[in-house]
């Protein structure tokens, strides 16, 4: 567990909550590093998710698979983000999601049970996760709103505005899935945008 990975965790926590150095030490020791090779899974459909994972390097996606095998990217996570199936963690039921490394990825993992204990030992940690959940929730609401109200081309333009890095790191098929369309459709949207001078 190298120093700058821990520093990214510390820095990320401090952005949303004032955590004392002593408390951070308690937190730090609850995490263990794990490396996931590109295209390997951190969680598979049907497993019960018992961890939160903090991405220190790399890029992951979580996706569902519908009744006829098509996958749908629900979330993406790169450096400084969290992954895990909150539904499964919270209910204890098997996950409907698969969490997969898009690139070679290093995460710091904590047992969800251990995190619950940490809330008692370090109450301010609850503030960090409340705020983190808040922004994740707000982002998802906006994405939902966008999906309900705008055609795919507008959503694509918004995405390259908000997440320019994504285009370089994720293949077209993942981006299409994230937008809720097929790779073919996204390819045509790109073609159409190029035709109009970009």
Partner DNA sequence: CGCGGGTTTGATGATGCTCAAGCCCGGTGG
Partner DNA sequence: CCACCGGGCTTGAGCATCATCAAACCCGCG
Q: Which stretches of the chain bind its own copies, using CB under 8 A?
A: 64, 66, 70, 72, 74-75, 86-87, 90, 119, 123, 126-127, 129-130, 133-138, 140-145, 147-150, 177, 180
Residue from 24, 103, 187, 193 in contact with DNA (CB under 7 A): 187
Question: Which of 71, 136, 153, 159 is close enough to bind DNA by CB under 7 A?
Answer: 153
Phi and psi angles of residue 50, each rounded to the nearest 5 degrees, phi first: -125, 25
Q: How far is CA 81 from the centre of its chain?
A: 6
By CB under 7 A, tell whether 30 contacts DNA.
no
Q: Per CB under 7 A, which of residues 66..105 are in contact with DNA?
A: 68, 70
d(CA 86, CA 121): 22
**Cα 96 to Cα 140: distance, rounded to the nearest angstrom:** 18
Is the CB of 6 or the CB of 152 nearer to its own copies? Answer: 152
Q: How far is the CB of 145 from DNA (least distance, A)?
A: 14
By C-beta, is 148 or 195 nearer to its own copies?
148
* Integer Cα distance of 82 and 13 in angstroms: 12
Contact of 1 with 35, CB cutoff 8 Å: no
Q: Are 44 and 94 in contact (CB under 8 A)?
A: no
The answer to whether 169 contacts DNA (rule: CB under 7 A) is no
- The C-alpha atoms of residue 185 and residue 10 are separated, in whole angstroms, by 41
Partner from DNA, its own copies, none contacting 185, C-beta within 5 to 8 A by type = DNA
Measured from the CB atom, the residue of 19 and 186 that comes closer to DNA is 186
Supply the angle between the helices 172-179 and 183-195 in degrees, to the nearest 10.
100
Beta carbon of residue 153, minimum distance to DNA (angstroms, whole number): 6
Residue 145's binding partner among DNA, its own copies, none (Cβ under 5 to 8 angstroms by kind) is its own copies
- DSSP-based three-state secondary structure for 68: coil
Residue 51 CA to residue 89 CA, distance in Å, equals: 7
* 8 A C-beta contact, residue 114 and residue 53: no
In the list 181, 196, 197, 198, the residue contacting DNA (rule: CB under 7 A) is 181
**Cβ closest to DNA, residue 120 vs residue 148:** 148
Interacting residues toward DNA by CB under 7 A: 68, 70, 151-153, 171-173, 180-191
């Amino acid at each position: 567990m190298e120093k700058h990975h821990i520093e990214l965790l510390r820095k990320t926590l401090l952005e949303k909550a004032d955590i004392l150095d002593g408390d951070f030490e308690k937190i730090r020791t609850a995490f263990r590093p794990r490396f996931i090779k590109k295209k390997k899974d951190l969680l598979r459909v049907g497993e019960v998710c018992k961890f939160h994972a903090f991405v220190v390097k790399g890029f992951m996606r979580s996706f569902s698979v519908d009744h006829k095998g098509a996958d749908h990217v629900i979330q993406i996570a790169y450096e400084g983000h969290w992954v895990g199936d909150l539904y499964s963690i919270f209910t204890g039921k098997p996950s409907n999601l698969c969490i997969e490394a898009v690139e070679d990825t290093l995460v710091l993992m904590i047992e969800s049970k251990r995190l619950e204990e940490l809330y008692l030992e370090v109450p301010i940690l609850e503030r960090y996760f409340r705020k983190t959940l808040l922004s994740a929730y707000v982002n998802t609401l906006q994405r939902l709103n966008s999906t309900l109200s705008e055609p795919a081309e507008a959503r694509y333009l918004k995405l390259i505005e908000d997440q320019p890095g994504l285009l370089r790191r994720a293949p077209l098929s993942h981006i299409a899935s994230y937008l809720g369309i097929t790779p073919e459709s996204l390819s045509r949207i790109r073609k159409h945008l190029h035709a109009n001078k970009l």
